[in-house]
Every structure is written in C-alpha cells, then in structure tokens.
Amino acid sequence: MKAPSYGQISAACLLLSLFTGFVVAYQYEVAAPFVSTTAIEAVLPFGWFWRSLHFWTSQGFVIMLCLHCFDTWKGLESENRRRTVRIHWTVISAVIPLAILALFSGYVLRYDGTGQAAGAIAEHLLLDVPWIGNGLNRFFMAVSTEGLNRLYAVHILAGCLCWLLGTWYHTRTVRMGYEAFVASSLAFLVFCMFVRAPIDLPQGHLHLIQGPWFFLGIQELLRHFDPLAAGIVFPLIPIFTVAVLPWLRKRQAAYLLLLVWTFAYAGITLVGILRTG
Amino acid sequence: MKRRNLLKNALLWLLGALVSWPLFAFIHKKRYRPPREIRISRKIRPGEFVVEPEFVLFQTESGPMAVSRTCTHLGCRINYLEEKKMFLCPCHQSRFAHTGRYISGPAKKDLARFEVTPMEDGQGFTVYLPA
C-alpha cells in the first residue's frame, strides 16, 4: 500500500475533526464553557476520547494542510499560466487562515487559563486594527461583551468553510482513497486512546501562561513590539504571500520571504517555549 | 469590458452591498449591558485584601480601593502577588504596583480603579463595575 499523501491525511483529519466536533458539541455548553469541557473530559462516558480525537485531528489538519500547501508549490510552477489556476490557488489559500482560526477558537472555547487569556488577547488585537477593528471584533470575537456565543458560531463556520472550500476545489480532480482514509483514521484513533487533549485550571498560571504552540511566537513578539505590528501584520505576511504567489512573475523573492519568515517564526517560538517567566 | 457586462457587474455589487448591510447591522449591534454592583460581605482590616475575578479590593489607611485585574496591554487577567505587593500579567509579564500604578512591561498604562462604597451596616463593601 502506498503511503497516504499530506493532502489525504489532512482531508482525513478534517473529516474526523468535523465529525468529532459535532459529537463534542452535544455536551458542550457555551454559557458554562469550562465546566462543560471538564465534564466532557472527566465525567461523561468516553468524553475524554471524543475530545482528544477532536483536538488532535484538528492539530493534524492544520499541520498537514501547511505541508500539503508546501508540497503543491511544484505543481503551481508548471500550471501557473492559466488564469483559472491562479484564481483557484488564491481562493483555496483562504483555507489556511480559516483552519488556524478554527484551531485558535477551539483553544478559547474550552475557556481554561490558556483559553481565557487567548480570547482576551485576540479581542484586543482585533480592536487595534484601524477603522475596521471594532467590526472585526464584533464578527469574530467580542468575548468580553458577548461571552463565547460568537466565537462558537465562528468556530463552526470556519470548520465548515474549510470543508466546503476543500471539497469545491478537489471534486473531480482527486480521489480520497479508502485505504488512505482508513489508515490515517486508525492512526489517530490509536493515538487518542493514549494521549489526552490538554486542559488547565483557569487560575492555574500565576506567573506565565503559554499560549497555543502556533501562537507562542506571536506571544513572544507582543512582549516587545506594537500589538498591531506583532499580532496582526506579522502573521498576515505569509498568508498574503501564499495567496498572491501565482500572480507574481518572479517568485524567488516570495519563496525567500516565506523561508525567512518560517525560520524566524520557528526561532521566536523556541524563545517562547524556553521562557520560564 | 462591454457595457452589458459592466452593468451586470455593477448590479451584482449593488445587490451584494444591499444584502451585506442588514447582515452587518445585525451582527454589529451591541446589546446593552448595565453597570454591575459586586457586594463583598465581609469586613477587611487595613493591610488586608480580597481577590475577586475582576478586581482586587484592598483596605488601606485612607479607605477601600478596588484595582482592576484586566491588564491594560491586551486584556489578560492579571494576578496579585502578595509577597511582592504587586500585580503580574501572566501573558506578557507587565508589572503593576498594588495601587495599580504601571511599573514595567509592555502595558505602559496604569490599571483601572473602580468605585467602592462601604455597606450601610458596615459589614462589607459594594464595588461598582462600569458597563
């Protein structure tokens, strides 16, 4: 059997994540997010398993999606002349920020110490965006005024949009493959039987809260730079670059920018991981 | 672009704007939330304090003082370190004196203070949180 590709694994992860997301939603309560999450984790039968599967397949989806994106640049080089290919690439690249939004909102929705801090920071970052910041906050977050209602809606919307965009683009072009799906799913099922999804106490961190792994670099930058530059502009650089990639005549500079950004972000993230207080 | 296409595109954009406006207005509307009163039903002697989710209430020689626990940098809930008599933000390590005065870190601004009044029976305090 051929090993599943990054694209196949990311598709399997997304399907599993959506399914387990709906399973977990049956017992999740927006009005009591932390209590219901701990109840799912510790009280309800097999709650820990569904939560773990939802958490890890979502992580898997984002990681595999980025690798899949990197993997398909080769194809872009040979097909880039067609206008439709360029439009498709730009539209489908929206899946990356949507996937990160779904993942990030998932962290906030559990509303433990990390989730509460992540929600407050995201809200303040959006409000720092000139002119449209308030509107963006009202649409995506508004945690301080509306609780988690809006974020929950956005979490579901972002996940479904990832699935819709992915399906729209890949229908009639690639096949998932039964074996690839079963193999990926089995690997995650076994993994989640042994590794639980993290959760911490709302007041569990006196000196240091470390955000989600993909947010650690931004968290570190926010200690030293202006919130708009560190929390909005800097993370938008790779997303914008990937979206405009097929429209550029000479891509060497864009590839170099992405490479430098990735290494720089990995370095800053490492500083964030090593921080003790 | 032909005139017919131009008109068609313009019509579509107009239709989009017409549909977007009610959606934007609906989502953007803020529900009114009144100011809140938090009652602390216990006596606090000078030098003592009470930690609540949204503020820390201190009793000082000059009277009660409620200092917000919301960091002025990016809104994280900050913690009061009793042994150092200061607030520390666990997100980006901004530091504030127990009075709410900014000491160091990326926050740059002092913490907010809330209005406090003693209860009529003298058995506690009422803290007023703005809307």
Per the CB < 8 Å rule, is B93 touching A219?
no
Using one digit for the tens of pLDDT, what is the confidence trace for B64-118? 999 999 999 999 999 999 999 999 999 999 999 999 999 999 999 999 999 999 9
| B90 with A207: Cβ contact below 8 A | yes
Domain extent at residue B20: 1-30
Question: What pLDDT digit, counting tens, does each position of A190-243 carry?
Answer: 999 999 999 988 777 778 999 999 999 999 999 999 999 999 999 999 999 999
Tell me the shortest Cα–Cα distance from B122 to chain A, in angstroms: 31
Contact B75 A144 (CB under 8 A): yes
Q: What separation, in Å, do the N-terminal and C-terminal C-alpha atoms of chain A show? A: 48
Same domain, B62 and B103: yes
- What 3-state class would DSSP assign to B117? strand
For residue A37, with 0-12 CB atoms within 10 Å meaning exposed, 13-18 middle and 19 or more buried, which class applies? buried
B20 and B63 assigned to the same domain: no
Together in a domain, B73 and B118: yes
Domains: count for chain B: 2
CB A84 within 8 A of CB A195: no
Cα–Cα distance for residue pair B65/B71, rounded to 1 Å: 17
Looking at the partner chain, which of B24, B91, B106 has a beta carbon nearest the beta carbon of A209?
B91
Are B54 and B17 found together in one domain? Answer: no
Number of domains in chain A: 1
Q: What percent of chain B has pLDDT over 70?
A: 99
The boundaries of the domain holding residue A58 are 6-203
In 3D, which of A133, A131, A140, A150 has the Cα closest to residue A98?
Answer: A140
**Partners of residue B24 in chain A, C-beta under 8 Å:** 135
User: Could you tell me if B23 and B54 lie in one domain?
Assistant: no
* CATH number where A180 lies: 1.20.810.10
- The answer on B78 and B18 residing in a single domain is no
Judge whether A93 lies within some domain. yes
- Asked if A20 and A53 count as a contact pair (C-beta separation under 8 A), the reply is yes
Q: Tell me, yes or no, whether A241 lies in a domain.
A: no
pTM flag (> 0.90): yes
Q: What is the CATH number of the domain that holds B124?
A: 2.102.10.10
Q: Are residues B23 and B45 in the same domain?
A: no
Domain membership flag for residue A225: no
Residues B70 and B87 in one domain: yes
B50 and B113 part of one domain: yes
